[in-house]
Structure 1
Amino acid sequence: MLQERLERINELRKKAMANPEFMKSAQAHAEALETEYHPAQPKRSKKPKTLSDIYQGYDFGI
């Protein structure tokens, strides 16, 4: 019984692997998973701004 089920699954797997539409869909799915689990890292600026750089030119009246 188990052997028959495994043979049936293997037969279906072979049919799917021979289907170009299935392979294209599988590739798109793999790419979607890749971007979902490994999103692109945001680019960081070369040098982080300091508070003195941000508030340069402001007069706080102190």
Structure 2
Amino acid sequence: MLQERLERINELRKQAMANPEFTKSAQAHADAIKSEYHSAPTKRSRKPKSLSDIYQGYDFGI
């Protein structure tokens, strides 16, 4: 029973892969997924400040 089902699924897969409309649609779907996840690269606002930059101008009375 399981083997028959796997054979049927494989036959349907082969039919779909032979259909140019299906492959075109699958490629468009893959491109949409890529653009959704890779659309905006992460931007760093700027370099993190060093402690000397943060405390510049403070007098600690040392």
Residue of structure 2 equivalent to 1:51: none
- Percent of aligned pairs with the same amino acid: 78
Question: How large is the RMSD of aligned CA atoms in angstroms?
Answer: 2.2
Moved beyond 2 Å, runs of 4+: 40-44
Q: Which amino acid aligns with 1:15?
A: Q
Between the aligned partners of 1:42 and 1:6, the Cα distance in structure 2 is 43
Gaps (5+ residues) in structure 1?
Answer: 48-62
Gaps (5+ residues) in structure 2?
Answer: 47-62
Provide the TM-score with structure 2 as the length reference. 0.64
Between the aligned partners of 2:5 and 2:37, the Cα distance in structure 1 is 33
In the comparison of the two structures, how many residue pairs are matched?
47
